[in-house]
Every structure is written in C-alpha cells, then in structure tokens.
Amino acid sequence: MLGGIDSSLFLSGFAGFLVVVLFILFLRWAFPSSQKSVSKAHRREIKRSLRELKRK
C-alpha cells in the first residue's frame, strides 16, 4: 500500500493500549491500596468520637 497506513498494524497497536489499560484496572482491583482501608477506619473513628461529643 503506497502512501497509506497498514490497517492491521494500526489495529494491533491500538489493541495493545486497550490491553494495558485493562491490565492496570485488573491489578488495581486485585490489589487494593492499604491506605484506603486505613483512611476509612480513621474516618469512622472520628465520626464516632464526634457523636460521643455531641451527646455530652
């Protein structure tokens, strides 16, 4: 193909980007960050202490 692009090469390269994005999403799901659970527990603790202060 003179002066054109190779469609199959373009599509395989584009599919590679999609595979990398899916792989990143899978890894983020499989190995959640420990900071999220720690911050949620900390927020719950703060809310609990605020409720106790409001009762007094």
> What's the length of the chain?
56
- Give the tens place of pLDDT for each residue, 1-56: 556 677 888 889 899 999 999 999 999 888 877 666 667 888 889 999 999 888 87
Q: What angle do CA 40, 43, 47 make, to 5 degrees?
A: 140
* pLDDT for the residue 23: 96
| Sequence ranges of the domains in the chain | 7-55
The DSSP code sequence of 2-54 is TTS--HHHHHHHHHHHHHHHHHHHHHHHHS--HHHHHHHHHHHHHHHHHHHHH
* pLDDT for the residue 54: 87
Which tokens sit at 4? 């054109």
Does pTM top 0.95 for this prediction? no
* pLDDT for the residue 34: 66
* pLDDT for the residue 36: 65
